Amino acid sequence: MNKSEIIKKMTIEEKASFLSGRDFWSTTEYEKYGIPSMFLSDGPHGVRKQASASDHLGLNASIAATCYPTASAMANSWNTALGERLGERLGEEAASQRVNVLLGPGLNIKRNPLCGRNFEYFSEDPYQAGKLAAAYIRGIQKNGISACPKHFAANNQEERRMVIDSVVDERTLREIYLTGFEIAVKEGEPKTIMSSYNRVNGTHANENEHLLREILRDEWGYGGVVVSDWAGSNDRVAGLKAGNELEMPCCRYGNEDIVRAVKEGRLDEKIVNESLVRLLDLIFETDGALKDAPEQFNESEHHLFALECARESAVLLKNEKSALPLTKKERVCVVGDFACKPRYQGAGSSVVNPTRLDSVLGCIKEYPLQYVGYAQGYERYGKKNQKLRKKAVTLAESADTILYFVGLDEVSEAEGIDRRDMKLPQNQLEVLTELTRLGKKVVAVLVGGSAVEFGALEQSDAILYACLGGQAGARAILDILTGKINPSGKLAESFPYAWKDCASSSRFPGKAMSVEYREGLYVGYRYFSTAKIPVRYPFGFGLSYTKFEYADLRVTQEGVSFTLKNIGERGGAEIAQMYIGKQDAQVFRPAIELKGFAKQFLKAGESKTIEIPFDEYTFRYYNVGTSRWETEGGRYEVYIGASSEDLRLSGSVEISGTGAETPYQKEELPSYYSGKANDVGKEEFARLLGREIPYPGYKFYKKRRMVIDENSTVADLRFSRRWIGRWFSGGVRFAHAFLWKIGKRPLANTLMMGVIHQPIRGMAKFGGMSRRQMEAMLMVFNGHACKGLFRFLSKGKKKKED
């Protein structure tokens, strides 16, 4: 039976059910039509297939799989070929577990360092993020299954992520927050893409026709399936019209809404059928690949490959007086809880059950070091402990060199919550300060998924940023510290001196209902370089045990070429970066923007000619006047360097423009033309936006009282009309505070992610409620307890009320 015959025979009820999950992870199977079920699974850096108890919070264990470095770590490798090989192995493992769609990679932009999910994303730069994501996608899909880049789009915080409205001007949306997805779609050709929870300029991403139909399908030519984030569908009918085929997980009332809309003539069944065709194509194609896929994968080979990835992802940030690599003569002690219990991945839906797990303590005796012992030094979750500190100091007195492991714990950065600040835990810094007073060599190993303020960490003689290196990360750390491997990673995000230095700091995470992207284009290094704000470590920075020389730049209409030479005494890899600027621009733009990069290994004394081509993204800007990509004609500066601040070579090229009129008046947008966009006023942002800024706060009908609707969160119930909602919200918030106080912080985070910021519609979806039951729950919260309870428990008259 072909697709057309299947669709003709299906009832509208069957069609609606098919466009929603059967359960938490799989789609509906129809044996009579020969349609198999399709399984979707988390997997940005490792497959997380849950065989029994299912959740989207990372609570229940999954089948063992290789835990590779997170996207935040792999981005530091700047190695697209390595990313594609990683994708191949992810796809191989997913296929062996009979997973049709692997939910990843994540490529949201790191707008602000405090986003709790930054560890799961690549970069603050859309070009780099897009190139790496495309590589992952190509690799995953070589196995016949589907990758699923996420979260589309402008999902750059965890605070109120399911209801927040990202208010962003069209040019910034296109150039910063969509370009990475555009590259991933055009060059990776994913079969599936996931819409985000948030609203974008007032409309939920999952039902945003501008995003899903006009841009994704019409402009980029995407022909695959759009799946909602879990319980991320707001209006199912609007989502279907916009181009969302599959709602996950199972949603009882969403299916009811589709059937009702078709029968009432509000939804053309042709739209339903078109969605069915795309979904059937995906299911049949991936199911065919799974039938031929091996049921096992080479666990040892995949672990060794995870080690290779971790080696390329670590970044050497500091190495004073050649403190590294360590020598055989040094007596070395290890201090820090992370050396014993590694922090190697994030927290939330991406948590992987690793096939094995290396730790520094478990591996260190295999290395040529005079190891004298280990001390925990501090309590992992921030509590001060004088006894642990004293033991660490006593141990350190017997050593020449102290390896100090420092960083963020699993509670500090996690899905569902944003970080409170950029600081490292105070108890860890206090131990470090005491250790540095001993006058010994201190080598700090920093673990975590995003930028931090260094403070006392700068007292160290050397700093290795290991990021979140996956299950083999510990061995990669020791390989680099001992000189077995020459570090080659470079930062994919800027490390500012302080959080307040970020352009978005005054507008993160926004107000109750919206977050305003007033900084516009000036994200990360784009802001720091234009506004001349000094940073601790710039975008693209990373040290090596050797040195490289750049020379002989040639710039043509097609791209650049230059000579790269290793002038050190050992082999190593350099990441050369190409930035573009236009000093006489009439359209405001950042001082420099990354438009190409190349990673090259060179033996000692070896030199090579490196070529980086220009492409369709190099000179374009989005013109809000013409609603098109345009090119401003004239002279462009071309820079080649080792980081965004270490630009070794410069040249220029004359580019023909498209002749479009400049859509801005300089005097109306002074902050954007100067690049000092950290404190943009309301009127200026409204001019950039081209409309009034929506009211960002709650809408009360009287003092601190609001009507609760399906998009109100559990936290919002504190403003409900009657005591039931306020009591429920207060109880949940008290439980969160109590769990945090008694040290049950992971559980407190789960409560925050899964309940406090969950909208009522999300509770209804996860609870398998009908629309009638959800409406009854709203009646209870809005002061009609008896009527609501009766409605919830009764079946009602199906023809009208269901």
Ranges assigned E (strand) in 556-646: 559-566, 572-581, 593-602, 607-613, 620-623, 628-631, 634-641
| Token pair in block for residue 580 | 């573009």
Kind plus residue range of the DSSP H or E element containing 238: helix 236-242
Quick check: 482 and 471 in contact, CB under 8 A?
Answer: no
> Which amino acid makes up residue 749?
N
Q: Write down the residue that tokens 């300060």 correspond to.
A: 433
Q: Are the beta carbons of 215 and 226 closer than 8 angstroms?
A: no
Q: Which long-range contacts (CB under 8 A, 24 or more apart) does 480-485 make?
A: 480/311, 480/314, 480/316, 480/324, 480/325, 481/324, 481/325, 481/326, 481/403, 481/443, 481/445, 482/325, 482/326, 482/367, 482/368, 482/369, 483/324, 483/325, 483/326, 483/545, 484/367, 485/311
Q: Exposed, middle or buried, 568 (CB in 10 Å: 0-12/13-18/19+)? A: middle
Residue 609 corresponds to which amino acid?
Answer: T
229 in catalytic set: yes
**Among 205, 68, 197, 75, which Cα is nearest to 140's?**
68
Rounded Cα distance, 513 and 508, in Å: 12
Q: What sign results for the dihedral spanned by CA atoms 146, 231, 19, 166?
A: negative
d(CA 366, CA 532): 46
Q: Measured in whole angstroms, how far is the alpha carbon of residue 242 from the centre of its chain?
A: 24
What angle (nearest 5°) sits at the alpha carbon of residue 68, between those of residues 63 and 70? 115
- DSSP, collapsed to helix, strand or coil, labels residue 652 as strand
* Cβ-contact 110, 59 below 8 angstroms: no
Half-sphere exposure at residue 610, Cβ-oriented, CA atoms within 13 angstroms: 30
> Quick one: angle between helices 299-313 and 80-96, nearest 10?
150
The answer to whether the beta carbons of residues 136 and 188 sit under 8 Å apart is: yes
β-strand partners of 496 = 535
Of residues 521, 630, 625, the one with CA closest to residue 109: 521
> What is residue 76's DSSP assignment?
G
Residues 298 and 108: beta-carbon distance below 8 Å:
no
Distance between CA atoms of residues 338 and 412, nearest Å:
14
Q: Which of 229, 409, 501, 716 is catalytic?
A: 229
Q: Please enumerate in sequence order all residues whose Cβ is within 8 A of that of 80, keeping only pairs 6 or more positions apart, or say none.
A: 131, 132, 134, 135
Strand stretches in 192-247, DSSP E: 192-194, 199-200, 203-204, 225-227
Could you tell me the sign of the dihedral formed by the alpha carbons of 90, 93, 95, 98, in that order?
negative
What is the helix (H) or strand (E) element at residue 518, kind and residue range?
A: none
Neighbours of 739 (CB within 10 A): 18
Cα separation of 540 and 598, whole Å?
12
Cα gap 286→147, rounded to integer Å: 11
Which phi-psi region, left, alpha or beta, contains residue 176 (left: φ > 0; alpha: ψ -120 to 50)?
A: alpha
Alpha helices in 293-366 (DSSP H): 299-313, 337-340, 360-363
- Catalytic positions, written as ranges: 229
